[in-house]
Structure 1
Amino acid sequence: MKTSRLEAFSDGVLAIIITIMVLELSPPKGTDLNALLAKTPIFISYIFSFIYLGIYWNNHHHLFQITEKVNGKILWANLHLLFWLSLIPFTTVWIGENYDAILPIIAYGVVLLFCAIAYFILQLIIIKSHDNEFVLKKAIGSDIKGKISITFYLLGIGFSFLNTWLGIAFYIIVAIMWLIPDKRIEKSL
């Protein structure tokens, strides 16, 4: 099976997730600057979540540009990733409205952690579904960047119990690490 249907479906789901996120943004109750500034945490959480979704969309695109074939295991692994990505709007709103509370910060981190794990699993299944000379296998090697991301999410979740801003800092570091598309794959295209 070719990758085009999977890519089109995934693009559609990600577009819907982003649409849901932006629809959750409500205008300020008042018309003055203070009313607008009161929405700052919600808008910042939206920006970071939009960046995260953009990172996943970009890397997913690169991943499937290099993938030669799709099977049932890859389809289910992709759905697993999309499931976790679909929870980002929920945690985005929660963290935006409660940016200094522990549980929303932890929930946001848990969703990001499981998105990373799902992406890691998807990569592994794609690699196992191809031969030993598959370009992706060589391109990602031992996937240190992916493993560091998972570690940082775990650290962010753990440190959120002590200080929510420290937890958020770990989540931001991971986003910065992935802002530039994965060069390992890009070089192989």
Structure 2
Amino acid sequence: MVVPQISGPLSNTVVQNSYYSLVPNLFALVLSFLLLAILWNSHHRIFNHIEKINDTLLWINVIWLLFIILVPFSAFSLGQYGNYILPNVIFNINMLGIGILLYINTHYALKMNFIKEETTKFRYRRYANIGFIFIYLLALLLSFTFTSWSPVTYILILPLTLVTRE
């Protein structure tokens, strides 16, 4: 996000309007930051239970990181052009990819017996990952019908994070 360059005669109204035009970008920035914080927290808590790793699990995480680094691009396009379908679809596919890879990460570690101990909290976290995926899918579907409301869907993630806290 860039501070606006204002040309021409300046006044309080002109400066205010320039800053008001940044509100959608600021919303997208804060939304993506909060989502990444929640996902990083979930990833961190999952890896607290993993005692072994192999190349496949490592590559699942590398691809997960690829989707993570695409978030600034998808969030910027959402902030700039959030009233249009394509930027919403791009952002929601980006988040869906992150959610699916987080689930694959957990599922693979369980399948390969890399988990120290599967606690009740860990099982809740697995279910929360599935919940994340459904929320991302809902946001993606809303991109085509209620485009501007699609990002609001992510508020549903908050109850999932409360369930999986330790």
Among the aligned pairs, what percent are the same residue? Answer: 25
The answer to whether residue 48 in structure 2 is matched with residue 103 in structure 1 is no
Question: Which residue number in structure 2 is paired with residue 141 of structure 1?
Answer: 123
2:35 to 52, 56, 59: 52
Structure 2, unpaired ranges of 5+: none
Structure-2 change in CA distance of 1:170 and 1:94 (3 Å): same
Equivalent residues in 2 for 1:1-189 (5 A)? 25-30=1-6, 32-130=15-113, 134-136=116-118, 138-141=120-123, 143-174=126-157, 176-180=158-162, 182-183=164-165, 186=166
Number of corresponding residues: 158
Distance 2:81 2:71 in 1: 15
Unaligned runs of 5+ in 1: 1-24
After superposition, the C-alpha distances for 1:37-95 in whole angstroms (9 at most, x for unaligned) are: 11111011001111111112222221222211221121011112111111111101100
SS at match of 1:135: coil
Q: Is contact 1:77–1:125 with CA below 8 Å preserved after alignment?
A: no
What TM-score do the two structures reach when normalised by structure 2?
Answer: 0.84
Q: Which structure: larger Rg?
A: 2
Displacement after TM superposition at 1:152 (Å): 1.9
**How large is the RMSD of aligned CA atoms in angstroms?**
2.2
SS at match of 1:78: helix
